[in-house]
A = this chain, B = another copy of it.
């Protein structure tokens, strides 16, 4: 569904958001621990998220990453996915045809179009705030 990189990115964002809810800035080590990701690789991913203005990064002592509450209420999961995996999941053919089109449909076009629309809706409507609260409340988990 998503690349490993994208999975890490989504989890990292949710974790950062949940910590930002209690005014805590988190470092790469914290993140890697919280989402069970390799530390150095997580650093690379954070660079992309930071460049795409999905998270705010602060260098130096007491630095780290954060997502202001106002921002996390705006940022959709779709933005994270697009930053990491591009928009393949939103528009490409499930059987890998060069382009998905009703005019030249693959044998599963109708069914896939429905599923893709569901995925798109989920990602385009869910904000980081939406998912961060469940984590903060201990209702959902990012590892195990």
Please give the residue numbers on chain A whose beta carbons come within 8 Å of chain B beta carbons, in ascending order. 1-2, 4, 7-8, 10-11, 14, 77, 89, 94-98, 104-109, 111, 114-115, 118-119, 122, 126, 131-132, 134-135, 139-144
Is A140 a contact of B107 with CB atoms below 8 Å? yes
Closest to A131 in B: B107
Is B95 a contact of A10 with CB atoms below 8 Å? yes
Q: Of B89, B105, B119, B140, which is within 8 A of A106 by CB?
A: B140
Q: Of B10, B98, B141, which is within 8 A of A144 by CB?
A: B98
What are 30 A-B pairs at a CB distance below 8 A?
A1-B1, A1-B89, A2-B94, A4-B96, A10-B95, A11-B96, A11-B106, A14-B107, A77-B108, A95-B142, A97-B141, A97-B144, A104-B141, A104-B144, A106-B140, A106-B141, A106-B142, A107-B131, A107-B132, A107-B134, A107-B140, A108-B122, A108-B126, A108-B131, A111-B122, A114-B118, A115-B115, A115-B118, A115-B122, A118-B118
